[in-house]
Structure 1
Amino acid sequence: MKIDRDLKLAVLIDADNVPYANVKEMFEEIAKYGTPTFKRIYADWTKPTVSGWKKVLLENAITPIQQYSYSSGKNSSDSALIIDAMDILYTGKVDGFCIVSSDSDFTRLATRLREAGMKVIGIGEKKTLLPFITACDKFIYIEILNRNPVPSEEVSSSPETSINKTTAIQPLNKVDPSIIKLFTDSITDLADEDGWAYLGDLGNLMIKKKPDFDSRNYGFSKLLPLIKSTNRFEVDERDSGKPNIKHIYIKKLTSATEKVTKQRRNGRKRDSGT
Structure 2
Amino acid sequence: MEQNDRRFAVLIDADNVSPKYIKYILDEVSDQGIATYKRIYGDWTDNEKRSWKNVLLDWSVNPIQQYSYTTGKNATDSAMIIDAMDILYSGNVDGFCLVSSDSDFTKLAQRLRESGMFVMGIGEQKTPKPFRTACDTFKLLEIISSEDASEVVENVKGRGPVVTIKEDPANIAAIQKTITGIDEIQRAISKLLMENNGVNQPIGLARVGNFLSKRFSDFDVRNYGYSKLSTFLESMNNSEFQLVKLHGGYFVQEKSASISKTEIEQELIRIIQGSGGHVDNLSIVHDELKKAFPTFDVKQYGFSRISSFIRSFGKFKIKDNMIQLK
Scaled by the length of structure 1, what TM-score is found? 0.79
- For residue 178 of structure 1, report the CA deviation from its aligned partner: 2.7
Q: Which has the higher contact order (CA 8 A, sep 6+)?
A: 1
Seen in structure 2, the aligned counterparts of structure 1 residues 191 and 53 have a Cα distance that, compared at 3 Å, is: farther
Aligned to 2:90: 91
In the alignment, is the contact (CA less than 8 A) between 1:98 and 1:122 conserved in 2?
yes
| SS, match of residue 219 in structure 2 | coil
Q: Deviations over 1:36-68 (max 9, x none)?
A: 000000001112332222221001000000000
SS at match of 1:191: coil
Quick check: 1:221 aligned with 2:227? yes
189 and 207 in structure 1: CA distance in 2 versus 1, 3 angstrom threshold: farther
Give the Å deviation of 1:169.
Answer: 6.0
How far apart are 1:192 and its partner, in Å?
3.2
**Could you say if the C-alpha distance between residues 190 and 201 of structure 1 is closer, same or farther in structure 2, counting changes exceeding 3 Å?**
farther
Aligned with 2:199: secondary structure? coil
Task: Please tell me whether residue 70 in structure 1 is matched to residue 69 in structure 2.
Answer: yes
Tell me whether 1:237 sits opposite 2:245 in the alignment. yes
1:216-257 CA-to-partner distances (Å, cap 9, x unmatched) read 000001111010011323222222xxxxxx332112334529
Distance 1:176 1:114 in 2: 27
1:198 corresponds in structure 2 to 204
Q: Tell me: CA distance 1:23–1:177, structure 2 relative to 1, closer, same or farther (3 Å).
A: same
- Structure 2 match to 1:17: 16
Give the CA deviation at 1:179.
Answer: 3.1
Give SS of 2:53's match: helix
The 3 A distance-change label for structure 1 pair 134 and 249 is same
Secondary structure, aligned partner of 1:36: strand
Question: Identical aligned pairs, as a percentage?
Answer: 45
Amino acid at match of 1:109: L
Partners of 1:16 and 1:187 lie apart in 2 by: 44
> Is the contact made by 2:185 and 2:212 (CA closer than 8 Å) also made in structure 1?
no
| Unaligned 5+ runs, structure 1 | 151-167, 240-245, 260-274
Range with bigger deviation, 177-186 or 202-211: 177-186
Deviations 1:45-104 (A, max 9, x none): 112332222221001000000000110100001000000000001110101100011111
1 CA distance for matches of 2:133 and 2:75? 24
Pair 38,148 (structure 1): closer, same or farther in 2 beyond 3 Å: closer
CA RMSD of aligned residues (A): 2.4
Instruction: Return closer, same or farther for 1:186/1:126 CA change in 2, 3 Å cut-off.
Output: farther
Separation in 1 of the partners of 2:211 and 2:2?
A: 13
- Does 1:180 pair with 2:186? yes
The equivalences for 1:28-107 within 5 A come to 28-107=27-106
Classify 1:9/1:176 alpha carbon distance in 2 versus 1 (closer, same or farther; 3 Å).
closer
Query: Secondary structure, in 3 states, of the residue corresponding to 1:110?
Result: helix
SS at match of 1:29: helix
SS of residue matched to 2:31: coil
Matched residues in 2 for 1:67 and 1:144: separation?
Answer: 29
Q: Which runs of 4+ in 1 moved over 4 A?
A: 168-171
When the two structures are superposed, what TM-score results if normalisation uses the length of structure 2?
A: 0.67
Which consecutive unaligned segments of at least 5 residues does structure 2 have?
150-166, 260-293, 296-326
Q: How many corresponding residue pairs?
A: 235
Q: Is the contact between residue 39 and residue 61 of structure 1 (CA under 8 Å) also seen in structure 2? A: yes
SS of 2:15's partner is coil
Q: Which residue of 2 aligns with 1:247?
A: 249
SS at the partner of 1:256?
coil
Please tell me whether Structure 1 or Structure 2 has the larger radius of gyration of its CA atoms: 2
Provide closer, same or farther for how the CA distance between residues 250 and 7 of structure 1 changes in structure 2, counting only shifts above 3 A: same
